[in-house]
């Protein structure tokens, strides 16, 4: 069963995740995939203070923009983790199909399709990575990375890790902060199969939430 850790606020969530990542790096993790977003970014900034180690940092998903674009997740990771971090960037400017094929090939060549850690975020609509409820990309089973067109959240063209790759990670974390995520998190915990992440089942190891996003009446656990 997926563990649920509830902490007082978003800063505490970020500190907890930074600690988990630092421990995995210290234990020898070499391939870690990270999501974008405000709370994850803060965790990466805190991790930078502890040291990023000899790790290749991968993108859970990326927007189809150049790597120096303000909406690029690769740029965010470089800024948060610092210049010493080895961020495996995607070629988003090539478009969804070509960028996904190239990044997927790189993922398989360097990781064998198994990450040490995957850090996920949660949208208010229940999406994670760039896998959106009701969109066909969420059902992809064979490719490690898939292109996305028509994303309901701009920009519309993206690439993303697929659910099977996320599920195979040695540790998969889901972060949820803020009252706006409470309904979606409740659906995840209820196993609502309309949400891609809910279909991970035991492939999701830990949910880390603040009190605002946590189920009603759930007191902090750490």
Alpha-carbon gap, residue 205 to 190, rounded angstroms: 15
pLDDT for the residue numbered 157: 98
Quick one: which H or E segment has residue 160? strand 158-161
Query: Is residue 118 very low, low, confident or very high in pLDDT (cuts 50, 70, 90)?
Result: very high
**Which pLDDT value is given to residue 161?**
98
The dihedral through the CA atoms of 198, 163, 170, 214 has a sign that is: negative
Cα dihedral: 11, 16, 18, 20 (round 10):
-170
Question: What per-residue confidence (pLDDT) applies to 218?
Answer: 65
Q: Domain 3-210, what architecture?
A: 3-Layer(aba) Sandwich (3.40)
Burial 112-139 (b: 16+ CB within 10 A, else e): ebebbbbbbbbbeebbbbbbbbebebbe
Alpha carbons 48 and 143: distance in angstroms, whole number: 32
Domain residue limits, the chain: 3-210
- Mean pLDDT calculated for residue range 113-121: 98
Cα Rg of the chain (Å, integer): 16
Q: Is it the case that residue 29 has pLDDT exceeding 80?
A: yes
The answer on pLDDT for 1 being more than 80 is: no
Extract the tokens encoding 121: 């975020």
Work out the average pLDDT over 46-60: 96
Q: Helices (DSSP H) in 8-135: which residue ranges?
A: 10-26, 38-50, 73-81, 96-111
| Residue 171 scores a pLDDT above 80 | yes
Q: Over 90: is that where the pLDDT of 52 sits?
A: yes
The answer to whether the predicted template modeling score (pTM) of the entire model surpasses 0.75 is yes
């Amino acid at each position: 069963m997926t563990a649920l850790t509830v902490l007082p606020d978003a800063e505490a969530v970020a500190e907890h995740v930074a600690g988990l990542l630092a421990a995995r790096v210290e234990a020898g993790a070499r391939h870690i995939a990270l999501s974008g977003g405000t709370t994850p970014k803060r965790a990466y900034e805190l991790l930078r203070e502890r040291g990023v180690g000899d790790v290749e940092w991968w993108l859970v998903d990326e927007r189809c923009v150049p790597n120096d674009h303000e909406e690029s997740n690769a740029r965010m990771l470089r800024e948060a983790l610092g210049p010493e971090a080895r961020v495996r960037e995607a070629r988003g400017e090539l478009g969804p199909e070509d960028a996904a094929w190239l990044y997927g090939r790189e993922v398989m060549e360097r990781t064998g399709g198994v990450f040490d850690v995957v850090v996920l975020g949660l949208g208010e609509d229940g999406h994670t990575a760039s896998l959106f409820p009701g969109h066909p990309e969420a059902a992809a089973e064979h490719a490690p990375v898939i292109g996305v067109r028509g994303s309901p959240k701009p920009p519309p063209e993206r690439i993303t890790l697929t659910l099977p790759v996320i599920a195979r990670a040695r540790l998969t974390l889901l972060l949820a902060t803020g009252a706006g995520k409470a309904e979606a998190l409740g659906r995840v915990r209820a196993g609502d199969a309309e949400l891609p992440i809910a279909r991970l089942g035991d492939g999701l190891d830990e949910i880390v939430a603040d009190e605002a996003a946590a189920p009603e009446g759930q007191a902090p656990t750490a």
